[in-house]
């Protein structure tokens, strides 16, 4: 019995890391006083980076504390540098902060990881008399600005994410220096150079497909690009589509959210596409270990076979098949064995009075609205994030604690 209990505890402990997840945007949505900070985490795509981490501390600043920063008129790339300094790559909950030694502790930030010169991406955390905890960038001028101080804990999920409030923005001359705007990406040129020229040419020649793809990059975009061999074989089908059908098929190959390969491996489920309208044109992302597949309700299962670009805000991946949406193609089912030809009796020499029964082919039923609604609900839930995972992790921890008390 004791051995069985220990085994059960081990299994519970091993599944706990898989249960943990968080969404910093949803966490901060509960606190309107941090709406400005939350907004800039999203538009700079730092929120996506935060949500991908296993361990992170976010130093949040209230709307009032953000005002001086906004008054400087910084560009979005520079704003990203400043806010990346507020994302520490270690866990610092309220309890840990107040147990730090009296000497300064140096913590690394996103800014340090992304190429900050020298030690300018480190944050010094100091404990003072009276339990006051302060934060200051390593390159800050102590005479010009006072350090920010710990105000309160907003959200903690040990030892994955801690969101705490600090009194003011961390001022760093290096982070606030003008940052170069990201180089504009020409999507069709990238595709053409990496084995997807046919798909790229169709984007350019089909309505406003290329413009739609290009304009969506800034807000986050994931594209599944069929390789030339697959696309060339599909061209006869493509040419038989209406103009609207051609456009929707191309738009069906992109998701209006940036997903890295790692995110696709862990964020399985039904997803909306650029072609999605109301309940239509969804697809399902699944993984089997390191292999990621995209399945359509029409029965096509394509596999991601290469990466052209995986850098926020664009994920561009090659696939081995063309994605066929159910709205344009009937579901592919295995063909049954051909039925024996009907035996036709010889026609009588004299015409009979009875009517001849001519068999008619029943039309294939259209996809039901219930299925469409279920797909859309799943897509919406999938985009909402993995907030429930943290609760599950807590429940597992509680069960483990009860069993430990029972055993010992």
Can you give the pLDDT at residue 268?
81
pLDDT tens digits along 131-164: 899 999 988 765 556 899 999 999 999 999 999 9
Equal CATH topology for 22-166 and 187-332+369-385: yes
CATH class of 22-166: mainly beta
CATH superfamily ID and name for 187-332+369-385: FAS1 domain (2.30.180.10)
**Does the reported pTM lie above 0.75?**
no
Nearest to 158 by CA among 83, 57, 48: 57
Domain locations in the chain? 22-166, 187-332+369-385
Q: How far apart are CA 310 and CA 289, in angstroms?
A: 19
Can you give the pLDDT at residue 285?
94
- For the chain, what is the radius of gyration of the CA atoms? 28
User: Is residue 230 over pLDDT 80?
Assistant: yes
Can you give the pLDDT at residue 143?
52
Can you give the pLDDT at residue 8?
44
User: Is residue 213 over pLDDT 90?
Assistant: yes
User: Is residue 188 over pLDDT 50?
Assistant: yes
From the DSSP assignment, how many helices (H) and strands (E) are in the chain?
A: 16, 14
CB atoms within 10 A of CB 218: 15
């Amino acid at each position: 019995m004791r051995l069985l209990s220990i085994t059960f505890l081990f299994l519970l402990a091993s599944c706990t890391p898989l249960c943990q997840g968080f969404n910093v945007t949803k966490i901060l949505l509960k606190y309107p006083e941090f709406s400005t900070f939350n907004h800039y985490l999203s538009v700079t795509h730092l929120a996506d980076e935060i949500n991908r981490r296993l361990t992170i501390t976010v130093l949040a600043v209230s709307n009032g504390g953000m005002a001086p920063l906004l008054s400087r008129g910084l560009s979005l790339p520079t704003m990203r540098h400043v806010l990346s300094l507020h994302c520490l790559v270690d866990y610092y909950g309220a309890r840990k902060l107040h147990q730090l030694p009296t000497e300064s502790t140096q913590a690394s930030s996103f800014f340090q990881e992304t190429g900050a010169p020298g030690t300018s991406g480190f944050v010094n955390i100091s404990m003072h008399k009276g339990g006051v905890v302060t934060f200051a960038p390593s390159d800050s001028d102590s005479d010009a600005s006072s350090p920010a101080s710990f105000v309160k804990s907003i959200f903690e999920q040990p030892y994955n994410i801690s969101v705490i409030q600090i009194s003011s923005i961390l001022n760093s001359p290096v982070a606030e220096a003008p940052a170069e705007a990201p180089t504009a990406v020409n999507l069709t040129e990238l595709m053409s150079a990496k084995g997807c020229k046919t798909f790229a040419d169709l984007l350019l020649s089909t309505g406003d497909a290329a413009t739609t793809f290009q304009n969506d990059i800034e807000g986050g975009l994931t594209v599944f690009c069929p390789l030339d061999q697959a696309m060339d074989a599909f061209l006869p089908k493509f040419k038989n589509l209406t103009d609207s059908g051609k456009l929707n098929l191309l738009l069906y190959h992109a998701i209006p959210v940036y997903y890295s390969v790692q995110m696709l491996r862990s964020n399985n489920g039904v997803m909306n596409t650029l072609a999605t309208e109301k309940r239509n044109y969804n697809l399902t992302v699944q993984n089997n270990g390191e292999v990621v597949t995209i399945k359509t309700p029409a029965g096509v299962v394509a596999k991601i076979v290469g990466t052209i670009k995986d850098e926020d805000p664009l994920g561009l991946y090659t696939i081995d098949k063309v994605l066929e949406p159910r709205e344009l193609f009937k579901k592919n089912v295995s063909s049954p064995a051909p039925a024996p030809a009907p035996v036709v009796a010889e026609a009588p020499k004299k015409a009979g009075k009875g009517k001849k029964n001519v068999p008619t082919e029943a039309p294939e039923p259209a996809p039901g609205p219930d299925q469409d609604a279920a797909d859309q609900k799943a897509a919406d839930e999938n985009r909402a994030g993995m907030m429930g995972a943290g609760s599950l992790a807590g429940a597992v921890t509680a069960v483990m604690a009860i069993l430990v008390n029972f055993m010992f």
